[in-house]
Amino acid sequence: MYIPSDDSFLLSETAEQYNGRSALEIGVGSGIIARVLCEHFNIVVCTDIFFQSLRYCKYTLPKNVKIICCDAASAIHIKFDLIVSNPPYLPYDQENKNNDSAVYGGPSGIETTLHFLKSTVGLLDRNGRILIVLSTLSNQSKLDDLLVEMNLEKKTIKERKIFYETLSVVEIHFK
């Protein structure tokens, strides 16, 4: 299970600033961000593909959180005010055959982020917001191309330099 790190803390601090009726988290991990969402939203739904994370969250998160084992948002068909994710974003390590899906996001690091965005955009309320963690270690220009294609725009809400990368949380919404 992914142990909360700088990226998790940056997203949970940002999520504190949002309120609404319903929120979705893709890639819940230990539940550190879902726990914040529970304090600000009436309905909270989380997904992950890693069974141990889901089992841990089942026993540690408030009972009203819905926890679903699925790829991205593939099993979900309702609209949300807020969708959040701290996706795996490191570029694949060519030397390593077992690129852990909790931290490696594809050949240029951004592919899983793009997959999460494509999977969730249809679930976003017209006035809703998506919060996603990005790193300078992944190829962010591919995200910018997808946003143009999907009629979405982004702005940076929080940014933090750590010793080998800059992390940011961007807010994405319909134009």
Give contact residues for ligand SAM (rule: CB under 6 A): 2, 4, 8, 11, 26-30, 32-33, 47-50, 53, 71-72, 86-88, 101-103, 112
Q: Measured from the CB atom, is 147 or 167 closer to ligand SAM? A: 167
- How far is the C-alpha of 172 from the C-alpha of 156, rounded, in Å? 9
- How far is the C-alpha of 118 from the C-alpha of 112, rounded, in Å? 10
Q: Measured from the CB atom, is 153 or 165 closer to ligand SAM? A: 165
Q: Measured from the CB atom, is 9 or 174 closer to ligand SAM? A: 9
Q: Measured from the CB atom, is 11 or 147 closer to ligand SAM? A: 11
Q: In angstroms, give the least distance from the CB of 52 to ligand SAM.
A: 9
* Amino acid symbol at 28: V
Instruction: Report yes or no: 44 and 37 within 8 Å, Cβ to Cβ.
Output: yes
The tokens for 9 are 């803390």
Residue with tokens 């726990």: 35
- How far is the C-alpha of 134 from the C-alpha of 125, rounded, in Å? 22
Q: Measured from the CB atom, is 87 or 128 closer to ligand SAM? A: 87
Residue with tokens 């739904």: 45
Q: In angstroms, give the least distance from the CB of 133 to ligand SAM.
A: 7
Instruction: Report yes or no: 87 and 132 within 8 Å, Cβ to Cβ.
Output: yes
Q: In angstroms, give the least distance from the CB of 29 to ligand SAM.
A: 2
How many Cβ atoms are within 10 Å of 101's Cβ, its own excluded?
15
Q: In angstroms, give the least distance from the CB of 122 to ligand SAM.
A: 16
Q: In angstroms, give the least distance from the CB of 175 to ligand SAM.
A: 27
> In Å, how far from its chain's centre is CA 175?
21
